[in-house]
Amino acid sequence: MEKKKETSPANYSLLKQIGIGVVTVISFILAWYLSYRFFYQGEGAVMSLWGKTTDFIGLFTGIFLVGAVVGLVGVLVEKWWVVVATYFLATASFFIFSPFKLLSLTATLFFLIVLVLTFLSIEQERKVRIRVSVYKILRRGFPAVLTMLTIVLAVSYYISTVEGIKNNGVQIPRQSFESSTGILEKYISEAYIPGFSKNMTVSEVSFQLFFNEVSKAGDNWRDMGIAPELESTLEAEDIDTDDNQAVMEAIQDNQVVHDKALELYQGTGASDNLLGSFGLGDVASSQPIIDAAYNAFNDKINDLLAPYRSIVPIAFAITFFLILQFFTFFIKWGVYGVIWLIFILLKAVGFVKVVKVKKEVEEIKL
């Protein structure tokens, strides 16, 4: 029987390095996909620095992944061609999801250069160290990788912002707008419009405002301009039309009377420009108040920012970069810890070995 050819230690080491390279490329692709979702599909796609929590978690998970695999390559991979091929494929995969632009191409090329230079720096530190220390090996150049990565992401954010403004104008994320109106909804309900809900239509809100004004002024319900048509409904519901308080309570609490009063009020046309009275434009009375307010607010912002339309994407991108830079300080330490744990685990299972070697040291003497 023929003996099976055993894989030599050198070949086995090469296979492991290639495996790390494959994992690195896959991690980069996942990171680029998460950033693409944030910039072009999630709440980040609409020109704002606020968005869904899941969008931000995905983005920072991608940054963490890139940091972790770059650190592993620096600590574990030795073959130059594996490093170059890995980083080339990893950075090129950026354009699987993001549009090919000269600006983004330039940023990714610089990122590739920084990755290679960082590997050189880490490799040099790895070779001269007497004792293996993951943190001390990685601190040489690794922070520059995260900084350059945030620049690439900021450039992507700028490009997506330019395209978004061109197609849809400046918009506040819908979810962010609705969440910010939650407290306002409660305040309006308690202070101005009892039972107010952001899901009410413009005409319902307008009618409720009008009804509250009549109630506070102590006016007779017949002065509301809907008395003749409403009277038959009141009589059908056994409401004394001469008892002003009873009628007002019925309009507020009796669903049949309330719906009829609202229908008659809509017929007067008084609710057609509720937001217009606040300087926010004309809206349809049947439109939900939250939709009307959201659209009107975005229109107002676009009018205000019209002279600065070209500056807005730059301002957002710079702010976005500064925010990412702040968080990468914490991500950096998290990456150090995770790589240290992975290194300990790989060493425990025999994937990685720490061996002692003799090194010759040069000295200068007179």
Looking at every residue in the chain, the average pLDDT score rounds to: 78
Chain segment 309-360, per-residue pLDDT in tens: 778 888 888 988 998 899 988 888 988 888 889 888 988 888 877 777 676 6
Among 66-70, 168-172, 271-275, 301-305, the minimum mean pLDDT is found in: 271-275
Chain segment 81-118, per-residue pLDDT in tens: 999 999 999 999 998 888 778 888 888 999 999 999 88
Residue-wise burial string across 60-99, b where 16 or more C-beta atoms lie within 10 A, e elsewhere: bebbbbbbbbbbbbbbbbeeeebbeebbeebbebbeebbe
CB 132 within 8 A of CB 303: no
Q: Give the best-scoring range by mean pLDDT among 20-24, 32-36, 243-247, 311-315.
A: 20-24
Which ranges of the chain does DSSP label H, i.e. alpha helix? 9-36, 53-76, 80-92, 102-128, 134-138, 142-168, 174-191, 202-217, 227-236, 244-253, 255-267, 289-305, 312-348
| pLDDT beyond 60 at 3 | no
> Residue ranges per domain, the chain?
9-170+309-348, 174-307
Chain segment 179-207, per-residue pLDDT in tens: 667 677 777 776 666 667 777 777 777 77
pLDDT at 91: 93
pLDDT at 41: 60
| DSSP letter, residue 288 | B
Q: What number is the average pLDDT over the span 62-84?
A: 89
| pLDDT beyond 50 at 265 | yes
